[in-house]
Structure formats: structure tokens, C-alpha cells
Amino acid sequence: MPFTDELNPEDAGRAQAPDPAQNTARSLDMIENILHRMLALAELSASDLQLDRNLLQKTLDHLKNEIDSIADQM
């Protein structure tokens, strides 16, 4: 007796195929989150606080590379 929650073979490909629209939305959400983090770092850098601005720049460069990587996968 087959299990009731088995996939119909005709639906198997569709059930496993990623939804491009969902993947794009997820990628854009990730990029938006990174941009918010970059904005916060830029605001810190512009402040009068004693900060290691070289470290802030390295962090911004790393976040930019993350965005580039996400965009390349879209």
C-alpha cells in the first residue's frame, strides 16, 4: 500500500524545482539587509567617535563583495 504523502511522479520535478521569483525575492532581501548594515557603518564613520576607519572601510568592502556575490548568483 503506497504512502498517502508520496509525490505524484508527474509533480516530482515541480516540487523540487526552486521558484525563481522566490529566489530573487530572497536575494533582494539579503542585499537590502546588507545595505542597511553598510548605511549604519557609514553613519558611524561620519560621526565624531574615535573609530578605526580603516577597519570600517574593510568591513564595507567585504559587505560590497557579499552583494556582488549574491547578485552574480541571481
Record the cell numbers describing residue 42, joined without a space. 557609514
Instruction: Please check the confidence at residue 15 and state whether its pLDDT lies above 70.
Output: no
Assigned domain for 15 exists: no
Residue 43 structural domain = 21-73
Per the CB < 8 A criterion, the answer to whether 53 and 45 are in contact is: yes
DSSP category for residue 5: T
The percent helix, strand, coil of the chain (3-state, each to 5) is 75, 0, 25
Assigned domain for 13 exists: no
In this prediction the pTM is 0.69
Record the cell numbers describing residue 36, joined without a space. 542597511
Instruction: Please check the confidence at residue 2 and state whether its pLDDT lies above 70.
Output: no
pLDDT at 74: 85
Domain count, the chain: 1
Assigned domain for 67 exists: yes
